[in-house]
Structure 1
Amino acid sequence: MSRKNRKPSRSTSVKWFPNLLRIVKKVILYFFSLSILWVIAYRFINPPVTWLMLQRGFERKADGKTWKLEKEWRDFNEMSDNLKYSAIAGEDAGFMNHWGFDPNAIQKAYLKNKAGKPMRGGSTISQQTAKNVFLWPGRSWLRKGFEAYFTVLIEVFWSKERILEVYLNVIEMGDGIYGAEAACREYYNKSSERLTKRQASLLVAVFPNPRKWTPKHPTRYILYKSSLIRRNMRIVRKQAFD
């Protein structure tokens, strides 16, 4: 048999396995190292842009519209307490007490979705922050796995104040509008420092779908939801940031 037709021996194949294993270990090590450094960096550096912001911008361009990305960073202490308490009351009442995940909310969402009722998320503010800042938009088990991983990291390396600060500065609040400050300028012509309880609760009430609803012209459902948020704010105030 000629050397050209000779099949690779089993020993040659076995030799490749340690090399492959070494490469996989290096990739895993680099991923964990870089992701942890990334999270630690964003504890001190404000995220300049997110995947969702870029995607929405390109979607606008594809529709023949101009690029729009309105955002203005506000530090935690510069935001109205009404906004902070409304966000927690409306999005994640257990935010101050959990470590990134709310088992009760997850179970309720699972049962509701299983029963065929309208889709409901069980994501905490921490999970939403991890998703918005570090990941791409979309739904998949892979992305959910990365979301859980980054949620754990920000809970470990960031304070609750930092998580809420980043969340309120990057969340989508309208077509091309991101963060509470830009939203307040757009809808109320004022800074987020001066939000009333009602204005803050209306702003948070539209978080699930800010391109469908607007606090400027609230529907009956949004008005009802904002009233519930204001009621829950009393409970949140007792827990928050003392």
Structure 2
Amino acid sequence: MGQSQPEGSLRPGRPKRPSASFHVLRRLVRIGLGLILLWASAVFWLGLLYQAAPPVSTLMLGRWLSLQPVSREYVGLETISSNLPLAVLTAEDSRFCQHGGVDWDALREVMEAADEDGPSRGASTIPMQTAKNLFLWPGRSYIRKGLELPVALYLDLIWSKRRMMEVYLNVAEWGDGVFGAEAAAQKYFRKSASSLSRREAALLATALPNPLVRNPGRPTARHRALAERLMGRMEGAAPFSECLKK
């Protein structure tokens, strides 16, 4: 006869079932991972598509969805005055032709000096700005900056430097609902982007950090001073823009 289990001894219990909150958390994680994979897939395929097709920025898409007007006429880099890409390169990303999408030295310097508000625009290259415009959201945060990096590296890998500059100049915001060099040139100077002077290009380039406040057609004294300084720097920047030539 088998021995009976002593009274009061512990019997093996059934394993506890996961709580309802655990199931909710697991579902949220799955949804989050699914959204990340969906976004990554969109970046991959749209990056390839935008090698030739005119791109659409997230700001433009948001305005269309909210029934707000968008002014943008896509033009090729060859029909944009050479003054504008030179001005933008000088103001935004002087090592554009040398780096592979991310200027690691400049990024490290800015991150070390960054305050609690997050990394500044000074850490951004033109590929990073393009990545933000096409696939991310405006604002300053380490999360967005972290997402910019792989997208910028990917776009710089599959696009030529000329294509990168062309896309950037066609999706950059230059005012409320004003996107791209052609729309900006028409709005502020009543001329095509192909006819922009060096001064006009400098005014447009120095408006980019704050396009909703800085008006290239009616610049403040500070804006004019920034453009004058940029024009002086552009004189020596031409040798660093060789990658923009055909």
* CA shift in 2, pair 1:27/1:92, >3 Å: closer
What is the DSSP-based 3-state SS (H/G/I as helix, E as strand, rest coil) of the residue aligned with 1:172? coil
* CA shift in 2, pair 1:71/1:31, >3 Å: closer
Q: What TM-score do the two structures reach when normalised by structure 1?
A: 0.78
CA distance in 1, matches of 2:16, 2:203: 69
Match of 2:48 in 1: 40
Match of 2:73 in 1: 72
CA distance in 2, matches of 1:41, 1:95: 23
* CA shift in 2, pair 1:104/1:223, >3 Å: farther
* CA shift in 2, pair 1:40/1:91, >3 Å: same
| Cα shift readout 1:75-106 (whole Å, capped 9, x = no counterpart) | 11111100110110111111111111123432
What is the DSSP-based 3-state SS (H/G/I as helix, E as strand, rest coil) of the residue aligned with 2:208? coil
Match of 1:50 in 2: 57
Residues 120 and 140 in structure 2, CA contact (< 8 A), matched pair in contact too: no
What is the percentage of aligned positions where both structures have the same residue? Answer: 36
CA distance in 1, matches of 2:113, 2:131: 24
Match of 1:16 in 2: none
CA distance in 2, matches of 1:52, 1:201: 24
What's the CA shift for 1:37? Answer: 2.5
CA distance in 2, matches of 1:100, 1:88: 13
**Which shows bigger deviation, 198-207 or 28-37?**
28-37
CA distance in 1, matches of 2:221, 2:34: 55
Residues 75 and 170 in structure 2, CA contact (< 8 A), matched pair in contact too: yes
Amino acid at match of 1:126: P
Match of 1:227 in 2: 228
Residues 57 and 176 in structure 1, CA contact (< 8 A), matched pair in contact too: no
Residues 52 and 132 in structure 1, CA contact (< 8 A), matched pair in contact too: yes
Residues 95 and 240 in structure 2, CA contact (< 8 A), matched pair in contact too: no
| Cα shift readout 1:159-211 (whole Å, capped 9, x = no counterpart) | 00011000000011001101110000000000000000001101111111111
CA distance in 2, matches of 1:211, 1:160: 27
Unaligned runs of 5+ in 2: 1-12, 18-31
What's the CA shift for 1:32? Answer: 5.4
Unaligned runs of 5+ in 1: 10-23
Question: Aligned-pair RMSD on alpha carbons?
Answer: 3.2
Amino acid at match of 1:54: L
What is the DSSP-based 3-state SS (H/G/I as helix, E as strand, rest coil) of the residue aligned with 2:174? strand
CA distance in 1, matches of 2:160, 2:139: 27
What's the CA shift for 1:67? Answer: 2.1
What's the CA shift for 1:28? Answer: 8.1
What's the CA shift for 1:56? Answer: 4.7
* CA shift in 2, pair 1:113/1:7, >3 Å: closer
Match of 1:203 in 2: 204
CA distance in 2, matches of 1:31, 1:57: 20
**Which shows bigger deviation, 173-182 or 227-236?**
227-236
What's the CA shift for 1:153? Answer: 0.7
CA distance in 1, matches of 2:42, 2:204: 35
What's the CA shift for 1:29? Answer: 7.5
CA distance in 2, matches of 1:37, 1:216: 38
CA distance in 2, matches of 1:28, 1:53: 22
* CA shift in 2, pair 1:8/1:107, >3 Å: closer
Match of 2:95 in 1: 94
| Cα shift readout 1:87-133 (whole Å, capped 9, x = no counterpart) | 101111111111111234324433443499x9553101110001101
Pairwise mapping of residues 93-242 of structure 1 onto structure 2 (< 5 A)? 93-114=94-115, 120-240=121-241, 241-242=244-245
CA distance in 1, matches of 2:200, 2:210: 17
Q: What TM-score do the two structures reach when normalised by structure 2?
A: 0.77
Residues 51 and 137 in structure 1, CA contact (< 8 A), matched pair in contact too: no
Amino acid at match of 2:231: R
CA distance in 1, matches of 2:101, 2:197: 28
